[in-house]
Structure 1
Amino acid sequence: MAQETPRFRRAPWLVGAGALAAVVVAGGVWAATTKAPQASPTAQAPSATPSPSASGPVCTALLSVTKQWDGGYQAEVIVSARAPLANWEVGLNLEGGVVTASWDSTMPVGSTGITTAANASYNGTVTAGSTATFGFTANGGSPSDLSATCVGTATGPVSESQAAGPTPPPTYTSQANVASPGDDDWLHTDGNRIVDAQGRAVWLTGANWYGFNLEQRMLVGLNVANLDDLMDQIASRGINVIRVPVSTELLLEWRDGEARVPQAVNQQLNPGLADKTTLEVFDAFLGDAKDRGVKVFLDVHSALADDDGHLYPVWYNEPVSTADFLDAWTWVAARYANDDTVIGFDLKNEPHGQPSETPRAIWDASTAKHNWRHAAEQAGDAILAQNPHALVFVEGIEATPRTGTSFASTDNGDYSFGWWGGNLRFAAEFPVRLSEPRQLVYSPHEYGPLVYDQPWFQKPFTKDSLTTDVWEPNWLYLHQDGTAPLLIGEWGGRLGQDPRQDVWMAALRDLIVDEHLAHTFWCLNPESGDTGGLFANGWGSWDEEKYALLRPALWQTSGGRFVSLDHATPLPGGVSVTEYYDQGNPQPR
């Protein structure tokens, strides 16, 4: 399908600055009507009375400080509906802070002390079990009391089944008593499948967990939860691989012995991580993953350890050069070459750039500095020289020239566009050539209209039309013709806010299941600004509606037990690869 205008990938989180994000949940009660928001900076917190149409609180509000700087901060509030809502209002105490900007609510600039924020015109209607989000910035210190209240007009009763969602699987404890070798789980490719050393197909079905790529250089969530507990939940729910974003800057710090002790780890909740550096915490995380049969691959999300680093279009960004990029990958591949917990490396997150931008990622036969294909070949071979068994994941770019034009054009009309990292149209004519061809996996990203309202979402669409118009020309053809396997490195989003989003997410999930495409869902983190996460309520629970959508796309036996990518260690409550095939289960083809 011809695309006439450039595409964008919005910022996927609102976390950062090395600050510990604090979260508190407070329940509110239903109100028959919701009073208008108060413009006065001394407005009182909202009150409410129960109604026969609802039982118990109809909504809760979670306030988190997502960024801090000298003299100010940024905050996000997530409104969770326990009943269907026509509108909502949140009350909170800013203490001495003064609001300088707000979005997605009616919170007035200048608000201070006890204040309220009602929904905007477009996000008041929230289905039960879904969420709405708003944010603000303020001068002064963040409030010491982060409690928030929520009231709303319910259009139906509180439904515990809607609020809780499907019954989650039990959480099992770790598998410390299982001995697993460090070299029996390496993978390679065979046509369009990823296979084990015996040539049997395996299905990578996982999720992203970001934080090491940010300024705080640490997995988000360890400020409010225990690492072991989180890993028990993740593995028990069938996540058999975790994509971990990092920065080149962080890898170079690790290489040079300059790893810092992070501020974003609650040492009371994580006594085993007390005074450990970022590298030592990463190694502890790897140990927890291995202990539970979970595999890991790293993704250079940005050159710099910067909350907005992923917005920069290419893999170099001063002072980080392409040579630094290659050196960082060489070092980390060598460090983990004898540990098959780290099964591969995603070379660079979402190379992109529009025709008129400099720099921008291109894909052709040249050796130009900004040619992503050439840089990917260099980085892939640098990794494989250290570990010939590692999988090398290569993403696409944003824009490729149409027939009869070239990358020399700066006219958007001469290009076909896709999501950042999601345009692999030129991989057929200019394939990535590696020293170990069997280790190559192409890795597009794909999102729905709540991330950006692409042209293909602005008319009626179905799974079939998306397949024909978008997915096949951009990346699915590589799977269909047997060129190489695909791993969809990012996909996901919020449910219940836009019917088109829900249709898109179910359609892509069904494609993943039908074709057994490898994938890592974006993301575990509830703080993700434009998608939300699988975890919810400040890492205290799961978004059961979203998990229910994802669950069919997780590798399972015919009896519904989750399958690890380890040949000795099963996922907690699940089975190992060896057990899967010994039980006579079919290959995921």
Structure 2
Amino acid sequence: MTMLCFEAANGGISLNGAPFFLKGASYFGMESDICVPHGLWGGDASTTLATVAQILNSNGFNLVRIPLAVSAVTDNIPVDRYKMGNEKALLDAFQDKELRYLDVLDYVVQQLQRFNLLVLLDAHVMQPGGNITPLWYDEAQHCSESTVAQFWVTLATRYQSEWNVLGADLNNEPHGEATWGSGDVKTDWRLAAMRLADQVLAVCPRWLIFVEGVQTTDCDAGHEIPCFWGENFQAAGKHPVGLKVNKRLVYSPHAYGPAVAWQPYFNADDFPDNMTSVWDTHFGFLKQQTDVPVVVGEWGGQHANSKDWQWQIKFVEYAQQIGMSGVVYWCVNPNGGDTDGLLCDDWRTLNADAFQLLSRFVGTPLPPHSSC
């Protein structure tokens, strides 16, 4: 058995010293009001975890990002087992005992493990079914920074021995009042990311730490090229993230096109060719100016929106051109709203357009293994 030792250094991710490309997809639901991955509820329009995992594995994916709700982890809340009606093995195992949130996450990790898929855990929202908050904490939702730290320490402790749990996406899409490099302890996401990461790594030093950007910074190039939430790394050159454990940091911007939100540069005469300079300004420069690998943690859109489809094709070209270390598609689910899913509305039919576009990326296969 080969030991799996991931590192983030020299501008890339490596596994046991060899370059490793992450091809991932987010599979949401555990952050929602039902607190389980969507589509497992039974009936005609549904699927199973094993089916999803097999589809991803057979199409060159090697990672699944799992959005979570902070309070659901810290309180380990009870879950309605019948929202996972297709997962007969889980229902049988909990026939005579209460099913809780971390039991569901255990099961998800184990099912993905069977199909050689890595897991990236994501602090997506504070409360199940809640909105994405501007900051990494929200006192109004009873989630202080110490609560978020407890969330991460709980997960790091629980999954430190699970070889397929790759790491932590510390906070989903900082935006609004979130700053980078301001020095304000209440709003500076860079400082908070370092505090949270160091607590995670004290428990599980092998994990990779994914740090997203913000929406605005004092270093922004100008109002004509605004950023999506979590996309802005323009201050990271001047104010880099530093962790107590070396070779663990990954910068993880989110990038979207006009199907998700309109930006002025989508109206440019030279669209989509102008997107190269936009992305270079927002996060692409990191490839030249730092040794930190870049993995776009969310991207996607709609095929039926012709302008957005142009954006998606250009994004794929750009990701390959600059040598990103990975991409994570949003999302597996067909019910993402403003984005297509890898699965169609029946949760069974594959979205041929999305899979054809994503075939340009091939995730590095995992060898037979145990973790280091």
CA distances 1:476-526 after superposition (whole Å, capped 9, x unpaired):
1111234310010000111132x3212110010112223342110010000
Q: After TM superposition, give the deviation of residue 415 of structure 1 in Å.
A: 9.6
Is 2:329 the counterpart of 1:510?
A: no
Is 2:152 the counterpart of 1:329?
A: yes
Match of 1:480 in 2: 288
Q: What is the distance in 2 between the residues matched to 1:259 and 1:342?
A: 23
In structure 2, the CA distance between the partners of 1:415 and 1:402, relative to structure 1 (3 Å rule), is farther
Contact in 2 for aligned 1:216/1:262 (Cα 8 Å)? no
Match of 2:241 in 1: 432
Q: After TM superposition, give the deviation of residue 233 of structure 1 in Å.
A: 1.7
Q: After TM superposition, give the deviation of residue 419 of structure 1 in Å.
A: 0.5
Q: What is the distance in 2 between the residues matched to 1:287 and 1:425?
A: 38
Question: Which portions of structure 1, spanning 4 or more consecutive aligned residues, are displaced by more than 4 angstroms?
Answer: 413-416
Match of 2:335 in 1: 527
Match of 1:172 in 2: none
In structure 2, the CA distance between the partners of 1:339 and 1:403, relative to structure 1 (3 Å rule), is closer
Q: After TM superposition, give the deviation of residue 414 of structure 1 in Å.
A: 7.6
Contact in 2 for aligned 1:196/1:202 (Cα 8 Å)? yes
Percent identity of equivalent pairs:
29
Q: 1:313 aligns with which of 112, 131, 134?
A: 134
Match of 1:264 in 2: 83
In structure 2, the CA distance between the partners of 1:448 and 1:403, relative to structure 1 (3 Å rule), is closer
Q: What is the distance in 1 between the residues matched to 2:171 and 2:224?
A: 22
Contact in 2 for aligned 1:300/1:346 (Cα 8 Å)? yes
Contact in 2 for aligned 1:350/1:397 (Cα 8 Å)? yes
- Structure 2: stretches of 5+ with no match in the other structure: none
Q: After TM superposition, give the deviation of residue 549 of structure 1 in Å.
A: 0.8
Is 2:52 the counterpart of 1:226?
A: no
Contact in 1 for aligned 2:121/2:168 (Cα 8 Å)? yes
Match of 2:302 in 1: 494
Q: What is the distance in 2 between the residues matched to 1:482 and 1:500?
A: 32
CA distances 1:219-266 after superposition (whole Å, capped 9, x unpaired):
011112222222222211221101110011122023xxx443444211
In structure 2, what residue type is equivalent to 1:511? Y
Q: What is the distance in 1 between the residues matched to 2:173 and 2:110?
A: 28
Match of 2:34 in 1: 216
In structure 1, what residue type is equivalent to 2:64? I
Match of 2:362 in 1: 554
Match of 2:261 in 1: 452
Contact in 1 for aligned 2:25/2:63 (Cα 8 Å)? yes
Q: What is the distance in 2 between the residues matched to 1:281 and 1:248?
A: 15
- Structure 1: stretches of 5+ with no match in the other structure: 1-179, 354-359, 405-412, 556-562, 570-589
Q: What is the distance in 2 between the residues matched to 1:484 and 1:206?
A: 19
Q: Which has the larger radius of gyration?
A: 1
Q: What is the distance in 1 between the residues matched to 2:27 and 2:169?
A: 14
Q: What is the distance in 1 between the residues matched to 2:191 and 2:175?
A: 15
In structure 1, what residue type is equivalent to 2:368? A
Is 2:241 the counterpart of 1:441?
A: no
Is 2:198 the counterpart of 1:381?
A: yes
In structure 1, what residue type is equivalent to 2:284? L
Which gives a bigger RCO, structure 1 or 2 (Cα 8 Å, sep 6+)? 2
Q: What is the root-mean-square deviation of aligned Cα atoms in Å?
A: 2.0
Q: What is the distance in 2 between the residues matched to 1:546 and 1:250?
A: 32
In structure 1, what residue type is equivalent to 2:249? L
Q: After TM superposition, give the deviation of residue 309 of structure 1 in Å.
A: 2.0
Q: What is the distance in 1 between the residues matched to 2:263 and 2:182?
A: 29
Q: After TM superposition, give the deviation of residue 367 of structure 1 in Å.
A: 4.4
Q: What is the distance in 2 between the residues matched to 1:476 and 1:325?
A: 29
Q: What is the distance in 1 between the residues matched to 2:321 and 2:216?
A: 28
> TM (normalized to structure 1)?
0.58
CA distances 1:102-161 after superposition (whole Å, capped 9, x unpaired):
xxxxxxxxxxxxxxxxxxxxxxxxxxxxxxxxxxxxxxxxxxxxxxxxxxxxxxxxxxxx
Contact in 1 for aligned 2:237/2:290 (Cα 8 Å)? no
Q: What is the distance in 2 between the residues matched to 1:271 and 1:216?
A: 18
Is 2:90 the counterpart of 1:273?
A: yes
Contact in 2 for aligned 1:239/1:554 (Cα 8 Å)? yes
Contact in 2 for aligned 1:217/1:262 (Cα 8 Å)? no
CA distances 1:427-478 after superposition (whole Å, capped 9, x unpaired):
111111110131000000000111111111012235542111x111110111
Contact in 2 for aligned 1:204/1:240 (Cα 8 Å)? yes
Contact in 1 for aligned 2:218/2:235 (Cα 8 Å)? no
Q: What is the distance in 1 between the residues matched to 2:118 and 2:193?
A: 23
Match of 1:465 in 2: 274
Structure (1/2) with the larger helix percentage: 2
